[in-house]
């Protein structure tokens, strides 16, 4: 009898351990990932209904957390016809004592889009102060008025610690705009807008399709005396037919001009190739760059050639050559 009880206890404990392990996943299905660390825990946010969220202790085994939004923001439903709660391309930063999460509201292939902002005191879902506060629209693009698209935000501070936001896709390329001191709106004292990268495209009307100017997902990373602009080129979201790739340029000024290794401006189609698809991944892109414990990491998604082109998280250590250019071994 004692033996049977002991076996039952072992079985129950084993089942509990197995259940805990089952809640952790590797090769998680994400799109447009960004990452940050708080109190030894890595938090990842990605495109998804309500903004997908994950946590990990080692950047390898991930636990799915509840989405940032339980229901679509009311302002967003009104602002973008056809939007039903699938939120794109979040960007996470720590600023002014809060976690700032910018996010994109749009419908595929249109530039009727908005970038919103939510903040939180903590990223720990179990903390009593955990609560996302939505601040609504920061930037909006309107067909027929704007030759740019308000998606794919990336927050960056300049040398004077003033906040800016890079964003954009297709149309006339990637933009950079100065934000207010609290980073919750566009600066009104002096509206500074800059085009930081673009590629040739077909069509001239903002309410037409985006044409072939396939560029998106800016991410600016400061290292030593340079700002590095990472961007994704060609086509995402096509599974086995995805041709996504990452290119990079740099500038000693946040506002540019950004040039590649050959000194070609990124506003004229330049950009040094960083990564592209191969036999294992049809395409790779929409990256972030994070520094943890003195190491830089490239955070991005790839379309798995061994799993029907499904989009999955990839994390690679980012190295730098003798001339200060990033590379992935």
Question: What average pLDDT does range 93-102 have in this prediction?
Answer: 98
As a whole-number percent, the residues of the chain with pLDDT over 90 amount to 75
> Which residues does 175 contact at the CB level (< 8 Å), separation at least 6?
148, 166, 167, 168, 193, 194, 195, 196
**How many alpha carbons fall within 13 Å on the CB side of residue 199?**
17
Banded pLDDT at 202 (limits 50, 70, 90)? low
Banded pLDDT at 17 (limits 50, 70, 90)? very low
Let me know: does 165 contact 155? Beta carbons within 8 Å: yes
Q: H or E stretch including 319?
A: strand 310-320
Let me know: does 192 contact 185? Beta carbons within 8 Å: no
For the chain, the straight-line distance linking the first and the last C-alpha, in angstroms and rounded, comes to 59
Banded pLDDT at 201 (limits 50, 70, 90)? low
Quick one: pLDDT at residue 175? 96
Cα–Cα distance for residue pair 22/139, rounded to 1 Å: 40
Say if residue 275's pLDDT is above 50. yes
Cα–Cα distance for residue pair 178/164, rounded to 1 Å: 4
Contacts from 55-60 at CB under 8 Å and sequence distance 24+?
A: 56/24, 59/35, 59/297, 59/315, 60/26
What are the tens digits of pLDDT across the range 293-320?
999 999 999 999 999 999 999 999 999 9
Measure the CA angle with vertex 165, ends 325 and 91; round to 5°: 80
For residue 121, give the 3-state DSSP assignment: coil
Instruction: Name the residues annotated as catalytic.
Output: 32, 216
Nearest to residue 113, comparing CAs of 67, 62, 159, 147? 147
What are the tens digits of pLDDT across the range 110-150?
788 999 999 999 999 999 999 999 999 999 998 888 888 99
Mean pLDDT score across all residues of the chain? 88
Sheet bearing 295-304, strands edge to edge = 281-292, 295-304, 310-320, 326-327
What are the tens digits of pLDDT across the range 237-249?
888 888 899 999 9
What are the tens digits of pLDDT across the range 139-190?
999 888 888 899 999 999 999 999 999 999 988 899 999 999 999 999 986 6
């Amino acid at each position: 009898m004692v033996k049977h009880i002991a076996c039952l206890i072992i079985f129950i404990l084993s089942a509990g351990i197995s259940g805990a392990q089952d809640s952790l996943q590797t090769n998680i299905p994400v799109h447009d990932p960004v990452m940050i660390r708080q109190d030894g825990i890595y938090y990842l946010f990605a495109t998804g209904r309500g903004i997908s969220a994950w946590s990990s202790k080692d950047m390898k085994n991930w636990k799915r957390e509840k989405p940032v939004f339980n229901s679509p923001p009311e302002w967003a439903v009104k602002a973008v016809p056809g939007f039903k709660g699938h939120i794109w391309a979040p960007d996470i930063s720590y600023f002014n004592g809060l976690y700032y999460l910018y996010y994109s509201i749009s419908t595929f292939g249109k530039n009727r889009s908005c970038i919103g902002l939510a903040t939180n005191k903590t990223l720990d879902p179990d903390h009593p102060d955990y609560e996302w506060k939505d601040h609504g629209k920061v930037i909006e693009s309107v067909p027929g008025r704007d030759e740019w698209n308000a998606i794919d935000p990336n927050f960056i501070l300049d040398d004077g610690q003033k906040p800016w936001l890079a964003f954009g896709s297709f149309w006339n390329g990637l933009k950079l705009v100065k934000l207010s001191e609290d980073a919750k709106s566009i600066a009104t004292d002096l509206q500074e807008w800059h085009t930081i990268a673009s590629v040739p495209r077909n069509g001239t009307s903002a309410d037409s399709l985006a044409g072939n100017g396939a560029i998106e997902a800016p991410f600016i990373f400061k290292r030593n005396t340079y700002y590095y602009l990472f961007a994704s080129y060609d086509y995402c979201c096509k599974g086995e037919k995805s041709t996504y790739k990452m290119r990079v340029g740099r500038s000693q000024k946040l506002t540019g001009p950004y040039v590649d290794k050959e000194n070609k401006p990124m506003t004229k189609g330049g950009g040094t190739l960083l990564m592209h698809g191969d036999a294992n991944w049809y395409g790779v892109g929409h990256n972030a760059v994070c520094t943890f414990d003195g190491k830089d990491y490239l955070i991005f998604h790839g379309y798995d050639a061994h799993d029907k082109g499904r989009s999955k998280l990839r994390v690679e250590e980012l190295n730098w050559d003798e001339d200060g250019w990033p590379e992935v071994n």
